[in-house]
Amino acid sequence: MPELPYYYSEPFYLIAFIIMIPCLLIAGYAQAKVAINFGKYSKVQNKNRLTGVEAARRILNNNNLSHIAIQHTASEQPDHYDSKSKVIRLSDDVYESTSLTAAVIAAHECGHAIQDVTSYQPLRMRTVISPLATFASQAAWLFILAGLILVMFDFAVGGIYLLGIATILQLITLPVELNASSRALNLLQTNEILADTEMAAAKKVLSAAALTYVAALIKPIISLFGVLRMVLTYRRNRW
């Protein structure tokens, strides 16, 4: 009986395959969902004809957050709330747009601002941990490359551990974003940004956005397994 290739005989590869296939399917589904819902409702004007900046300003003022500024940022930069500068930054597609999607995104960023002023702990944790996660992710690749080039397996393993730590640290992002979306739904309604008949569409946009947060967490997991497979294969061939 012929011997099976090593990648079939190693339990790791079977486990990696079982984990990665669902991850890839979820990531693909998330991208499709975002493209459909964001694309659809970006072409639908909200009934109040509020631009993204007008919606955000109304929400902030109504919640005693008039001190928080709103800035127009470049299209290639994502919409976000800067907790250090106390600024909401909105892209071209949101700042001046009267689309339903623009209003929903503006409300989501306002949700982050409210998290900040109410001392929402997961947001504070993310603010503290984010630089650490970025450092761990960048340092990981240096260790991995150094380990492969210098044929020092311990260096490569250390890089994998760092990549794993960075992935775990990113877990904190998910509850922060989901909570901001939950707040956004309430803000859209209580501040009369959207009509009651538009709330179902708003939920679809936010649900699609929630999937992007899940996909964003899945990508480093896929990368982690991919790098681990590469290092183990390299070790088998070189060590």
Which residues are designated catalytic? Answer: 109
Q: Does residue 100 contact residue 202 with C-beta atoms inside 8 Å?
A: yes
Query: Which of these, 123, 157, 117, lies nearest to 140 by C-alpha position?
Result: 157
- Rounded to an integer, what distance in angstroms lies between the CA atom of residue 62 and that of residue 56? 10
CA–CA dist 4, 70 (Å, integer): 61
Give CA–CA dist 234/151, Å, rounded. 9
Q: Tell whether the torsion through CA atoms of 200, 110, 96 and 75 is positive or negative.
A: negative
